Amino acid sequence: MSKESVIPFKGTAEQEKQLMAVIEEHKGEDGALIPVLHKAQGIYGYLPIEVQKMIAEGLGVSLAEVYGVVTFYTQFSLNPTGEYKVAVCLGTACYVKGSGDIIDKIKEILKIDVGGCTPDGKFSLEATRCIGACGLAPVLTVNDDVYGRLVVDDVEGILKKYMD
């Protein structure tokens, strides 16, 4: 049942040094946790258990509290962004045009949840708000490539392009 990321942690000594400096800067302040998490995500790109443990230790709060705050705010991510960031628009227009089914299909093919990343680090999946391409609904993007007027059967072909 654990929600730990399946991607191996690849933090460097330099990143750890930066994080320690951030913790030092905020230690003892009221409400230090959120700014530290914010900056930690800036350093590592996401907040895996290894980083959360360093923050818990450094600020003297429990790991459960750190995790509670990370999961409360959507801006924090437990998983890294993949080489290919797949983002499916769940804005109103896309949603009524069936983007819910599109995202379900992607989850099925990549075997990850929204917010997740494949174990090889290749694909990550995000649900976005309206990206302003309602005329093309339903829409998804892979990095800077935009795909519109989609049906569920298009999904496999799109992902295949990035698989090799």
Partner 1 sequence: MEMVNLKINGQEISVPAGTTVLEAARSAGIEIPTLCYLKDVSQTGSCRMCLVEIKGGRALQAACVYPVSEGLEVLTNTPKVREARKVTLELLLSNHDRKCLTCVRNRNCELQTLADELGVTDIAFEGVRNEYAIDELSPSIVRDNNKCILCRRCVNMCKNIQTVGAIDTMERGFKTQVTCAFEKSLGEVSCVNCGQCIAVCPVGALREKDVTDDVWAAIANPDMHVVVQTAPAVRAALGEEFGLPIGTAVTGKMAAALRRLGFDKVFDTDFAADLTIMEEGTELLERIQNGGKLPMITSCSPGWIKFCEHNFPDMLDNLSSCKSPHEMYGAIIKSYYAEKMGIDPKSIYVVSIMPCTAKKFEAQRDELSVNGLQDVDTVLTTRELARMIKEAGIRFTQLPDENFDDPFGDQATGAGVIFGATGGVMEAAIRTVADILDNTSHSEIEYEAVRGLEGIKIASVTAGGKTIRAAVAHGLGNARELINKVRNGEIELDFIEIMACPGGCVNGGGQPIVPAKVRMDMDIRTERAKAIYNEDKALPLRKSHDNPYIKKLYEEYLGKPCGHKSHELLHTHYIARDKH
**CB of 85 vs partner 1, minimal distance in Å:** 23
User: Strands 123-128, 84-89: parallel, antiparallel or unpaired by DSSP?
Assistant: parallel
Dihedral sign, Cα of residue 90, residue 85, residue 56, residue 9: positive
Nearer to partner 1, 45 or 68 (CB): 68
Neighbouring residues of 66: CB distance < 8 A, sequence distance ≥ 6? 33, 37, 52, 55, 56
Binding flag, residue 63, partner 1 (CB under 8 A): yes
Number of residues that bind partner 1 (CB under 8 A): 19
Which listed residue (13, 62, 153, 164) binds partner 1 by CB under 8 A? 62
Nearer to partner 1, 9 or 143 (CB): 9
Q: Which of 55, 46, 62, 57 is nearest to 5 (CA)?
A: 46
Binding flag, residue 53, partner 1 (CB under 8 A): yes
CA distance 8 to 53: 15
Nearer to partner 1, 71 or 92 (CB): 71
- Site residues, partner 1 (CB under 8 A): 1-4, 49, 52-53, 56-57, 61-68, 71-72
